[in-house]
């Protein structure tokens, strides 16, 4: 299981991420509000402005102060030793 840092010491499981989107559009804002009302919202932005909305396969929605690009890059980074296993 690979964990991805989403800022401020918070981690999510990379394998459980369905989508990483920007919070700017009205449908995403509605989804955040609906998720908050259901009690499935996790605000990991620590009071900073939300720049990424991470949709998990469990139905949870995680808010992050990092941009979607940064989080996606961290998801695709190879872990230490991963190349060694594939080459050998």
pLDDT digits (tens, 9 = 90+) for 34-47: 999 999 999 999 99
pLDDT level of residue 77 (50, 70, 90 thresholds): confident
For residue 32, pLDDT beyond 80:
yes
Instruction: Give first-to-last CA distance, the chain, whole Å.
Output: 21
Once rounded to an integer, what is the mean pLDDT over residues 28-32?
98
Is residue 76 within a helix (H) or strand (E), and if so which, with residue range? helix 68-76
The predicted model scores a pTM of 0.87
Q: In the prediction, which pLDDT does 79 show?
A: 57
- Per-residue pLDDT averaged across 56-70, rounded? 98
The helix or strand, by DSSP H or E, that contains position 82, with its residue range, turns out to be helix 82-87
Question: Taking residues 71-83, what's their average pLDDT?
Answer: 77
CB atoms within 10 A of CB 41: 17
Q: List, edge to edge, every strand of the sheet that includes 41-43.
A: 17-21, 52-56, 61-64, 41-43
Domain positions in the chain are 3-77
Q: Which of 35, 66, 75, 23 is nearest to 48 (CA)?
A: 66
Q: How far apart are CA 37 and CA 19, in angstroms?
A: 20
């Amino acid at each position: 299981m690979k964990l991805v840092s989403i800022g401020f010491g918070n981690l999510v499981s990379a394998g459980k991420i369905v989508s990483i989107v920007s919070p700017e559009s009205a449908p995403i804002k509605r989804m955040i509000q609906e998720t908050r009302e259901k009690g499935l919202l996790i605000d990991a932005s620590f009071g900073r402005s939300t720049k990424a909305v991470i949709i998990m396969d469990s139905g949870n929605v995680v808010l992050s102060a990092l941009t979607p690009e940064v989080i996606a890059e961290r998801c695709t980074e190879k872990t230490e030793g991963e190349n060694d296993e594939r080459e050998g």
